[in-house]
């Protein structure tokens, strides 16, 4: 692991994930937008001065759903049928959100090591629907915990019980996984149980095993009580010392627990929605390697500052990371040795002779162009999973761009044709 550099990507996490080798990450924590129908924004100070930080959490089908959906639908028809059904109950925004999440969860599962774990942070807006997607992708038997993060904060409204918890789902990729039991100090409730005090003031209680009674001293159980799945960790107040100003920043204490429980020093931890990089800071402090990804320039700029300077703005905490705009390229797929004719014929059969963009049918494979689904200049490679056939017109529209551009253009042109 010594040669793995910590990395911070400014990009859509789906593009980064597509370029990562399978089976490489030990632990993934993700805290995506929750489908809260809000804009999160706040003015914050960065190395470039005060800027507006934030991201949208309002979803719609056209802007948020990557049209690589087409291949997603083909390979996961049941999953898509489920998302479609939820769309009927909750509307298109939820459908768009769940599709966005499902595409990414599938890729996260792929890059996770077989012994790896994933923690998905969400809230009851979408938790029930996300759980089913996770069960689908990870297998229901690999569901390990629903952690409730319980906190106190100001809330409005009197017609409901005050909403004061988030949900964190924990999944593993198999039944072999890292898990270090965590402890927390005994609360008053357990101390009451130690109802005897000896002459030296030490508290103890009786413990009965198979009819035999033993004295158990409170101080002998000094590790504390094994952590349960309801975590009382204070919400980050506006004056908290670790506060960066980034909206939705999570407390380091939360990430410390997750990383300590499900990884070991030297392991690789990834946060694909890293915001102001709470996970990266916690991972660094716990001697893990890390990858952070965020699509927002502002978030990443803030992260760079947070990672390099302490609160005084002087001392460099750690600089040992690469801020990257270029996407990774997979090296674990075997390159094709077929010639272009063979490739055309293979895909001509697979696509039933039709263009993957406009759907037009051609009588011969030679009428098609071979296209890299993820453009060559990005993460796409000369491997079967990344190739398709397009007609000449679609190929020139798409050029070096992703599929969503082509499909949106075709859609726009068709709707214009309907108007005229
Ligand atoms: C809830 S915030 C994460 C906050 C983070 N846990 C922290 O402590 O700062 C969600 C983040 O996801 C980012 N995001 C949204 N869509 C993304 C995408 N497709 N790829 C990468 N990041 C994305 C947003 O810019 C935002 O910073
Ligand atoms: Zn076409």
Q: What is the dihedral of CA 278, 133, 144, 1, to 10 degrees?
A: -50
Of all ligands present, the nearest one to the C-alpha of 406 is 2
Contact 348, 361 (CB under 8 A): no
Question: Which residues form ligand 1's pocket by a CB distance below 6 Å?
Answer: 12-13, 31-33, 55, 246, 248-250, 273, 275-276, 278, 293-296, 299
DSSP letters spanning 268-306:
EEEETT-TTTHHHHHHHHTT-EEEEEES-HHHHHHHHHH
Q: How far apart are CA 360 and CA 269, in angstroms?
A: 45
Ligand nearest to the CA of 44: 1
Q: Which residue minimizes the CA distance to atom 5 of ligand 1?
A: 275
Predicted local confidence at residue 1, as pLDDT: 44
Q: For 97, how many CA atoms within 13 A lie in the half-sphere containing its CB?
A: 23
Cα 401 to middle of ligand 2, angstroms: 15
Q: Quick one: pLDDT at residue 45?
A: 57
pLDDT value of residue 379: 53
Kindly report the protein residue whose alpha carbon is nearest to atom 13 of ligand 1.
273
- Find the length of the chain: 420
Ligand nearest to the CA of 389: 2
- C-alpha atoms less than 13 angstroms from C-alpha of 416 in its C-beta half-sphere: 6
Q: Report in angstroms the alpha-carbon separations of 68 from 104, 298, 397.
A: 11, 27, 16
Ligand 1 atom nearest residue 296's Cα: 25
Q: How far is the CA of 32 from the centre of ligand 1 (A)?
A: 5
Relative to the alpha carbon of 353, which ligand is closest?
2
Instruction: Spell out the domain ranges in the chain.
Output: 6-179+228-324, 188-221, 340-419
Cα-to-centroid distance, 67 and ligand 2 (Å) = 15
CA angle 272, 258, 41 (to 5 degrees): 45
pLDDT (0 to 100) of residue 299: 78
15 CB-contact burial (10 Å; exposed 0-12 / middle 13-18 / buried 19+): buried
What pLDDT, on the 0 to 100 scale, is given for residue 2? 46
Maximum C-alpha span of the chain:
96
Atom of ligand 1 nearest to the CA of 273: 12
Q: Work out the mean pLDDT of the chain and round it to a whole number.
A: 84
49-57 and 38-46 as β-strands: parallel, antiparallel, unpaired? antiparallel
In tens, the pLDDT along 363-380 reads 999 999 999 887 765 555
Is the overall model pTM greater than 0.85, yes or no? no
Q: Residue of the nearest CA to atom 10 in ligand 1?
A: 32
Q: For the segment 155-170, what is each residue's pLDDT rounded down to a tens digit? A: 777 788 888 999 999 9
Which among 355, 352, 390 has a CA at the least distance from the CA of 369? 390
Structure tokens at 298: 């502002």
Token code pair at residue 350: 């697979």
| Among protein residues, the one whose CA lies closest to atom 18 of ligand 1 | 12
Which of 126, 150, 123, 138 has the alpha carbon at shortest distance from 28? Answer: 138
Choose among 35, 32, 3: nearest CA to 293.
Answer: 32
Fold of 6-179+228-324: Rossmann fold (3.40.50)
Find residue 323's DSSP bridge partners. Answer: 8
Q: pLDDT value at position 363?
A: 93
Counting as low any pLDDT under 50, the low residues of the chain are 1-2, 67, 315
Q: Looking at residue 366, what is its pLDDT?
A: 92
Instruction: Assess if CATH 1.20.1250.20 describes domain 340-419.
Output: no
In angstroms, what is the span from residue 57 Cα to ligand 1's centroid?
10
In sequence order, the β-bridge partners of residue 321 are 6
* Residue with token string 């996984």: 177
For a mutational test of ligand 1's pocket, the pick from 38, 121, 246, 275, i.e. the residue with the most ligand atoms closer than 8 A to its C-beta, is: 275
Question: Distance, CA 32 to ligand 2 centroid (Å)?
Answer: 35
Sequence-distant (≥ 6) Cβ neighbours of residue 86 within 8 angstroms:
94, 95, 98, 129
**Of all atoms in ligand 1, which is nearest to the CA of residue 246?**
9
- Comparing 6-179+228-324 with 340-419, is the CATH topology the same? no
pLDDT of residue 236: 86
């Amino acid at each position: 692991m010594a040669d793995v550099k910590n990395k911070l990507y400014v990009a859509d996490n789906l593009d980064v994930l597509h370029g990562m080798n399978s089976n490489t990450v030990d632990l993934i924590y993700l805290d995506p937008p929750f489908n809260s129908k809000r804009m999160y924004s706040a003015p914050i100070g960065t190395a470039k001065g005060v800027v507006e930080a934030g991201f949208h959490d309002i979803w719609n089908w056209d802007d948020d759903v990557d049209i690589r959906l087409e291949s997603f639908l083909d390979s996961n028809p049941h999953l898509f049928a489920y998302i479609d059904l939820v769309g009927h109950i909750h509307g298109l925004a939820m459908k768009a959100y769940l599709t966005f999440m499902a595409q990414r969860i599938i890729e996260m599962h792929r890059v996770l090591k077989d012994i790896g774990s994933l923690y998905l942070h969400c809230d009851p807006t979408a938790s029930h629907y996300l759980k089913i997607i996770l069960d689908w992708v990870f297998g229901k038997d690999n569901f390990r915990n629903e952690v409730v993060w319980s906190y106190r904060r100001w809330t409005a409204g009197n017609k409901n019980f005050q909403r004061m918890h988030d949900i964190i789902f924990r999944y593993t990729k198999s039944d072999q996984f890292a898990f270090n039991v965590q402890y927390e100090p005994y609360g008053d409730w357990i101390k009451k149980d130690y109802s005897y005090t000896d002459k030296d003031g030490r508290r103890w209680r009786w413990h009965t095993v198979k009819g035999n009674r033993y004295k158990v001293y409170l101080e002998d159980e000094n590790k504390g009580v094994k952590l349960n799945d309801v975590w009382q960790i204070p919400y980050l107040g506006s004056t908290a010392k670790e506060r960066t100003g980034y909206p939705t920043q999570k407390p380091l204490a939360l990430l410390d627990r997750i990383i300590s429980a499900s990884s070991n020093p030297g392991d690789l931890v990834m946060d694909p929605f890293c915001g102001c990089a709470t996970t990266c800071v916690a991972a660094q402090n716990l001697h893990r390697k890390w990858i952070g990804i965020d699509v927002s320039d502002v978030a990443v700029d803030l992260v760079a500052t947070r990672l390099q300077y302490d609160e005084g703005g002087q001392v460099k905490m750690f600089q040992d990371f690469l801020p990257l705009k270029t996407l990774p390229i997979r090296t674990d797929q075997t390159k094709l040795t077929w010639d272009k004719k063979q490739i055309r014929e293979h895909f001509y059969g697979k696509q039933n002779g039709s263009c993957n963009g406009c759907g037009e049918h051609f009588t011969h494979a030679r009428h098609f162009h071979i296209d890299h689904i993820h453009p060559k200049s990005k993460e796409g490679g000369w491997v079967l999973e990344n190739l398709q056939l397009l007609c000449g017109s679609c190929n020139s529209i798409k050029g070096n761009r992703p599929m969503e551009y082509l499909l949106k253009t075709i859609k726009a042109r068709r709707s214009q044709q309907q108007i005229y």
